[in-house]
Amino acid sequence: MIGFIPYREMKRLVGKACLIACCIHGVGCARSQGISEPVPVEILTGHRTRIVWVRQVVGDGNDPFATGKNFVLMGMDTRDGRGERPILDTVRNYRKPLFTEDGERIVFTDLPGAQFFVVNWDGTDLRFLGEGLAMEVWRDSVSGIEWVYYLGSFGSSETRDGSPVMRIRLDQPDLKELVWDQTEVTPDNFQLSADGTLAAGLFPWKQWSILNLKTKVLEPQGKGCWTSMAPDNSYLCWVFDGAHKNLLLKRADHTSMWKIAVNCAPGTEGHEMYHPRWSNHARYIAITGPYRVMGRYNAITGGGQGMNVYVGRFRKDFREIEKWAQVTDHDDGDFFPDVWVSGSADVSYIASSLETNNQIAPATSEFAPIQVIARLVEVTNTPSLEAIKPYQATLVEYVYDVVSVEDGICDDEQIIVQHWGIRDGEYVDLRPEMGKTVLLRLEPVSSHPELQGERVSSTVDDPTLQSYLNMDEKYLTRRRP
């Protein structure tokens, strides 16, 4: 466990109501254990910072999808000295709050009412904008017009897939345009590049794609959830993996992909995380967690108390989150955060820097398989089909002691092996006998980006172990439930 000082105690120590951060280093966070002194979030970002999120004030944090009416709209400004506060304290639905470009207004959706609104940062001038579900706020840097992208209609499933994607002018909501109607789209998460030419999204869940908004060409990228597009013109994008623990990043114009762990913030202890979203500055993201209680499908659906908001800062080469700030420390569930960093309206220098200095290096594509004789010491029970809906497949994680290495290089004494538990809606007969020694042909999970969006079921709580995929076909024989 990575130690840190709780928010309430640190607030007393630093003498101001500000965000508290702890620094960690490395994708394998528990492997490299580098920890610096806690710092205010403004040292993390270097600028005035605002964060908005929704807080479930009735219930035990059991609505991370923010579908009910038990929420207040919360905010925090690092310069006003007020700490976290309600922006709108009427208990209702405020799903997916989004900052406008200047950080002075917030767009949110009343999901049960299928309507979206805008309100000032200080809680004044609450206005109705339209019917549907707000997905993104984007400002045209040439015309200065600010647009709200939204789903005109959406379904009742948890993924809220819908069509068409429309946009309206924020300050002239009677003016609207059709954006996309060739597929359904999942509203969480749909983001545009700074120039408005590309959008990352799920078309629909869980098909991660890049949409060229000029040519109307949709390019599938893989599977996953909570897609995001960098707010500059680097066209860097990510998809959240099925384990809800890592971001898979790539350039829209490149094929290389790499993984960044996001369950390494102090206090998250390697558990599942959720609601990842890029801020208006490409170096900073928001996320919530840790999710510890298993629900119908996973720990996300379990919810629970103590779901807090975190802000992370990418390293300059975007290969890891180099520092984390814990924003909230509250028993109620905090969900759907968005972050605004002042002075970030023009972040084109980030894109040009990446191009000039080639800071985003190509990901390694060579991964050597290994063969080991290993002893099964810990299993994750395969969940039911009902429990993983809407997924139709899941990998399950087992822990093995490495007895000997027959081929390749493996220096670990203990490893995680992912086996198929359910595939294409059918159960897979795969479990070796507990304590039995077996020969396994394995490849690193990182060498199979096509599987990174698949659901992973796991009760393994040691994030320091290396993960491999079982390649032995005798364990891939399917059987019906």
Going from the C-alpha of 470 to that of each of 159, 418, 419, 448, the distances in angstroms are 30, 6, 6, 11
| Ranges of H-type helices in 266-423 | 299-302, 348-357, 385-388
Rounded CA separation 318/377 (Å): 36
Looking at residue 374, its pLDDT comes to 95
Count of CB atoms situated within 10 Å of the CB of 303: 22
Position 389 pLDDT exceeds 90: no
Residue 265 CB-density burial (10 A; 0-12 exposed, 13-18 middle, 19+ buried)? buried
Whether residues 162 and 224 share a domain: the answer is yes
CATH of the domain at 175: 2.120.10.30
Distance CA 229, CA 222 (A): 15
Query: Distance from first CA to last CA of the chain, Å, rounded?
Result: 38
CA geometry: angle at 303 spanning 302 and 307, to 5°? 150
* CA separation for the pair 144, 139 (Å, rounded): 6
Q: Is the residue at 353 inside a domain? A: yes
Q: Where are the alpha helices (DSSP H) in 23-101?
A: 29-32, 41-45
- Per the prediction, the chain carries an average pLDDT of 83
Task: Kindly state the tokens that stand for 231.
Answer: 């707010």
Do β-strands 414-423 and 426-428 pair in parallel, antiparallel, or remain unpaired?
antiparallel
* Inter-CA distances, 303 with 251, 292, 300, Å: 32, 8, 5
**What does the alpha-carbon distance between residue 307 and residue 288 come to, in Å, rounded to a whole number?**
6
Token digits of residue 332: 């109620």
User: Where a domain ends, among 298, 326, 357?
Assistant: 357
Last residue of a domain, one of 308, 334, 357: 357
Q: Does residue 6 have a pLDDT over 90?
A: no
Segment 40-69 mean pLDDT: 91
Residues 183 and 307 occupy one common structural domain: yes
Of 357, 386, 419, which residue constitutes the final position of a domain?
Answer: 357
> What letter does residue 44 receive in the DSSP assignment?
H
Please say whether the beta carbons of 150 and 108 come within 8 A.
Answer: no
Over 90: is that where the pLDDT of 429 sits? no
Same domain, 384 and 351: no
Res. 38: pLDDT tops 50: no
Assign 405 to helix, strand or coil: strand
- Considering the domain architecture, whether residues 233 and 292 belong to the same structural domain is answered as yes
In angstroms, rounded to a whole number, what is the distance separating the alpha carbons of residues 254 and 115?
38
Q: What angle do CA 247, 252, 256 make, to 5 degrees?
A: 65
Per the CB < 8 A criterion, the answer to whether 117 and 125 are in contact is no
3-state helix, strand, coil in the chain (%, to 5): 10, 45, 45
Residue 363 included in any domain: no
**Cα gap 186→329, rounded to integer Å:** 30
Assess if residue 2 is contained within a domain.
no
Q: 333 and 396: one domain?
A: no
Question: Beta strand 236-240 with 217-229: parallel, antiparallel or unpaired?
Answer: antiparallel
Q: Please calculate the CA angle 472-478-481 and round it to the nearest 5 degrees.
A: 140
Give domain status of residue 388, yes or no: yes
**Alpha-carbon distance 78 to 362, whole Å?**
36
Could you give the angle at the alpha carbon of 305 between the alpha carbons of 300 and 311, nearest 5°?
Answer: 70
Within a domain: 362: no
Q: How many residues make up the chain in this entry?
A: 481
Any long-range contacts for 137-140 (C-beta under 8 Å, 24+ apart)? 137/98, 137/99, 137/100, 137/101, 137/107, 137/170, 138/192, 138/196, 139/100, 139/101, 140/196
Q: Which of 74-78, 131-135, 326-330, 351-355 is least confident?
A: 351-355
DSSP 185: B
Specify the pLDDT at position 134: 98
81 and 105 inside one domain = yes
Q: What is the pLDDT of residues 395-417, one digit of tens each?
A: 999 999 999 999 888 888 999 99
Q: Tell me the whole-structure pTM to 2 decimals.
A: 0.75
pLDDT band at 189 (very low <50, low <70, confident <90, very high): confident
Residue 31: the pLDDT is 36
Task: Report CA Rg, the chain.
Answer: 22
Q: Is 337 part of any domain?
A: yes
Judge whether 365 lies within some domain.
Answer: no
391 and 258, same domain (yes or no): no
Q: What is the mean pLDDT of residues 234-256?
A: 86
Q: Are residues 379 and 248 in the same domain?
A: no
Residues 38 and 148 in one domain: yes
For residue 273, what pLDDT band results from cuts at 50, 70 and 90?
A: very high
Contact indicator for 250, 210 with CB cutoff of 8 Å: no
Task: Give the chain's domain count.
Answer: 2
DSSP-assigned beta bridge partners for residue 437: 375
pLDDT confidence of residue 297: 64
DSSP 356-387: HH--SPPPP-----EEEEEEEEE--PPPPHHH
CA distance 37 to 5: 10
- 338 and 402 in a single domain? The answer is no
The answer as to whether 364 is a domain residue is no
Q: Worst-scoring range by mean pLDDT, 47-56, 174-183, 265-274?
A: 265-274
Q: What range does the domain containing 15 cover?
A: 7-357
208 with 218: CB under 8 angstroms?
A: no
Spell out the residues 6+ positions from residue 5 whose beta carbon is closer than 8 angstroms to its own.
13, 20, 22, 38
What's the CA gap between 4 and 14, in Å, rounded?
14
Q: Are residues 402 and 322 in the same domain?
A: no
Looking at the structure, do residues 342 and 375 belong to the same domain, yes or no?
A: no
pLDDT per residue over 190-217, tens digit each?
Answer: 999 999 999 999 999 889 999 999 999 9
CB 137 within 8 A of CB 146: yes
Whole-angstrom distance, CA of residue 280 vs CA of residue 101: 8
